[in-house]
A = this chain, B = another copy of it.
Amino acid sequence: MPSELSPIHSKLFEAKAAKGLTFDEIAKALGKDEVWVAAAFYGQAKFTPEELAQLADLLGIQGLQASLPDDSWWPNRGLGPSPPTDPVIYRLYESVLVYGHAIKAVIHEKFGDGIMSMIDCKINITRKPDPKGDRVVLTFDGKFLPYAKW
């Protein structure tokens, strides 16, 4: 676990390990996707009070809502060193270094001058069987936002 995690998020990870649950199992219980739930465990997404209540039941944690009672603030997003040192996360970063300009150029040709939103974006991971070695299929589905002109 990265050392920047707050105590409440560390407790979530510990309870998950003690229960032996996967993110996918937790996600199904909450009606969410496993990547989004994992992001919320790392403090990078925000549970509603209802989701916190469900999570507290599922993980057997008491006082979870009391620990996160206030709607007016939330842990800062952004985690880990940059550039990343962990090889799994570095490979994502390497895709920005090597393919970032190509992705930008193709988005520009297909959509015009604008960006792919990372706010209105859904991320999924699936396992694709392959006789030469199974593959990770990582999908970003983000809204195109054209630049305003004024």
Contact = CB atoms under 8 A, between A and B. Distances in A.
A96 B84 CA distance: 9
Given A95-B123, A115-B88, A147 B46 contact: yes
A60 interface: no
Q: Assembly of this chain: how many copies?
A: 10
Contacts of A94: 87, 90, 118
Interface residues of A, number: 102
A130 B87 CA distance: 24
A64 interface: no
Contacts of A128: 141
Given A38-B102, A80-B76, A102-B38, A145 B119 contact: yes
Contacts of A80: 76, 97, 100-101
A108 interface: yes
A95 to B, nearest CB: 5
Given A89-B96, A150-B33, A136 B107 contact: yes
